[in-house]
Amino acid sequence: MGRHKGALTFLFAATLFTSAALLFWVEPMVAKMLLPLLGGTPSVWNTCLLFFQTMLLAGYAYALFASRRLTLARQIVAQLALLALAALTFPVSISAATAASVPRGGDPAFWLLGRLFVVAGLPFFVLAALSPLLQRWFAATRHESARDPYFLYAASNAGSLVALVGYPLAVEPLLALRRQSAVWSWVYAALALLVALCAAAAWRASARTGETGVDENTASENETGGARRPDGEKLTNARRARWVLLAFVPSSLMLGVTTYVSTDIASLPLLWVVPLSLYLVTLVVAFARRGVARRRLVERAMPGVALVFLLAYLSGATQPVWFLVAIHLLFFFVAALMCHGRLADDRPDARHLAEFYLWLAVGGALGGLFNAIVAPLVFTRVVEYPVVIVAACALIPRRASAADENRARERWLDLGYAAGLCLLSVVAALFVSRQDFDDNSKLALVVGAPLVVAYLLRHRPPRFALALGAITLGAAFYHSLDTRTLLTARNFFGTLKVTQDAGSDLRWLYHGTTIHGRQSTDLSRQCEPLSYYHRAGPLATVFDAYDARPASPNVAVVGLGTGATVAYSRAGESWTFYELNPAVLAVAEPPDYFTYLSYCTHGAPVSVVLGDARLRLAEAPPQAYGLIVLDAFSSDAIPVHLMTAEALDLYLSKLAPGGVVLFHISNRSLDLHPVVADLARSRSLACLAADDLNHTADKEPSQWVAVARGEDDLAPLLKDSRWYKLAGDPARRVWTDDYSNIVSVFKLR
């Protein structure tokens, strides 16, 4: 009997493991298929997560309906039928019609949601419903663990975790996307067999006990251990709302930290799956048995971790990247583990299992909706991330000794402490702005000292959270003193900000924390290219060489920015910019903020084509351009699909004989020299690089790589000592649409 019960446990655990693995394998696979269609923006992943969370909610809602309204036999028939129906939509792939339907302007979030539904909606729905249904079927058996089947939730999340970690480490490097889809389909077929075996086991067990219906209102004795748990019989709305909130915060935090990591490093599945994997780890740990002591330790550590994290976050630091990413992920992990631990402690008995998972899915979907759809529409800045950070701190369980019967008085004190700390930060900011302190000393006074005071309030979480929120506002005020913000704009593609330096004539364009260009407001210098494009930098050498013997009078620039490169235009040339983000065009085209496009074209006609560069450049005539400048990599979140072998083949097909493809590869986090060098070697191309690391008041350090069909086409550049030959390594694998290795190009310093 013991061996039979062990086999039964293994069968259900293996089925849940496989189901979850398929579920979380298809997520990065489909996102990777769709990513190039929308320019590689991090919002693609956040929107994908929103879709998957919504379909998870739909699957859990169906599972709740089935467990309450359908007999076990009907549940089995319906689920097997759905598994077969979903298989008719295979293989999971992106059709040519889908690629052609990408919108050129506006917010593509709803288009993306629609495409996701067509491509993967039904399989994901069916797989999502399996987890709660299988656990309900297990609860109908005579197994000794049937009365508390939540340990199977850990098995399910373990499968999800293995799939997510395995995708970038094994699946993505070894299998092309088409092959991935085929293997996924075969594993899906194996899952269908496992589900049939689980159904047979549940049916046999229920037949022996005479219980052929799995109904939450008619739980059998083996589900409750022969007695009803008083706290689990009735669910209050307050308890349901608490479940939603505790699920909402980790979900929103996960998307917030994902946006941070993928905006400041690169937008690709390897980095996307790290926060999601940590999210799943917290679920596995929280719902594992004998985890109460561990959860208490996490709750005690949460205020200290929050303090260190906010000190780094509010400082506005951008280096060192590895530390900043690590501290963001650490806070997210601790906060998610705390919230999921509270959910595990408050889980109901097995008869309410399906509804419990439904409310968790509601919270997760609301977190995705808040970050992916609501926040970009409502906020012009990334406000949702700090708001949910504060909310997470408010959810720290309060110790009983910290309770006070005079609740009204305590609430007023909460607000008073918060107001006082905000005032302290503002006064400190005004003080240090008039002093000749170094930046670290200023931050210690404006942020560090108030955070230490806030830490003393940690025993009352609402007060602690409000204090942190107040300090966040004070820090924002401090950062606003040095610059005047002229414009903030936010859409699906990110956040843009135009600022004016206090006491100078320089105007800046930022995408997130990355500089995308600057211009002088002095009329005598308005057509002077600054920042990465300075006339003392390598770009000027390239245009001097191009002007000396143009292969074609047409120039293509991928990435508009402020439009500074057009300052190198000459009469008789024709310039085409390819820009993904309509908000960038709205900033650069009218002369309200930057005037390069308005007054610095030197009579050359200039056009701007909206949309992903690979899709739109493919529409250009063959051999149309004498110079193609790829200026889409200076943002730290590089669009990987623009620097693959397939992308290079496209550029070469549009490049006139004797022409040059120029990569701008300045990046805080990644060294892209070997990537471009390997691409050039794979196509037997000449390759030169220039690293101008000098920084002046008007010039940013910049790095460029020029690629051409022959060395003669690059001969003028070799006259400048800054340019040197760059050779690829035959031992390295060339990046393609199916393969990239971001880890290999991380800067270690």
Phi and psi for 346 in degrees, rounded to 5? Answer: -100, 15
Report the alpha-carbon distance of residue 551 to residue 729 in Å, rounded: 29
Q: Residue with structure tokens 């701007």? A: 608
- The answer to whether 538 and 704 are in contact (CB under 8 A) is yes
pLDDT for the residue numbered 741: 76
Report the alpha-carbon distance of residue 186 to residue 181 in Å, rounded: 9
pLDDT for the residue numbered 292: 58
pLDDT for the residue numbered 150: 65
Domains and CATH numbers, the chain: 2-214+236-295+346-376 (no CATH), 400-481 (no CATH), 531-745 (3.40.50.150)
pLDDT, tens digit (0-9, with 9 covering 90-100), for 68-121: 888 888 898 999 999 999 998 888 888 777 777 777 766 788 888 888 888 888
Most distant CA atoms of the chain, gap in Å: 91
Report the alpha-carbon distance of residue 114 to residue 91 in Å, rounded: 18
- The answer to whether 366 and 251 are in contact (CB under 8 A) is yes
* Ranges of the chain with pLDDT below 70: 1-6, 39-42, 105-106, 142-151, 207-233, 262-272, 289-294, 317-318, 399-409, 482, 633-638, 748-749
- The answer to whether 533 and 566 are in contact (CB under 8 A) is no
- Burial label, 122 (beta-carbon count in 10 A; 0-12, 13-18, 19+): middle
Torsion sign, CA atoms 172, 176, 179, 185: positive
Task: Annotate 629-646 with DSSP letters as a single string.
Answer: EE--SSSSSB-GGGSSHH
Report the alpha-carbon distance of residue 639 to residue 262 in Å, rounded: 10
Interhelix angle 237-264/384-394, rounded to 10 degrees, is 140
- The answer to whether 519 and 597 are in contact (CB under 8 A) is no
For the chain, report the end-to-end CA distance as a whole number of angstroms. 59
Which residues are within 8 A (CB) of 500 and not within 5 positions of it... i.e. 6 or more apart?
483, 484, 486, 506, 507, 508, 521
- Burial label, 352 (beta-carbon count in 10 A; 0-12, 13-18, 19+): buried
**For residue 480, what are its two tokens?**
């606003």
Report the alpha-carbon distance of residue 693 to residue 685 in Å, rounded: 26
- The answer to whether 280 and 165 are in contact (CB under 8 A) is no
Please report, to the nearest 10 degrees, the dihedral formed by the alpha carbons of residues 111, 115, 117, 122 taken in order: 180
pLDDT, tens digit (0-9, with 9 covering 90-100), for 444-489: 787 777 888 888 888 888 888 888 888 888 787 777 776 778 888 8
- The answer to whether 63 and 214 are in contact (CB under 8 A) is no
Phi and psi for 711 in degrees, rounded to 5? Answer: -65, -30
pLDDT for the residue numbered 593: 92
Report the alpha-carbon distance of residue 418 to residue 415 in Å, rounded: 5
pLDDT for the residue numbered 403: 47
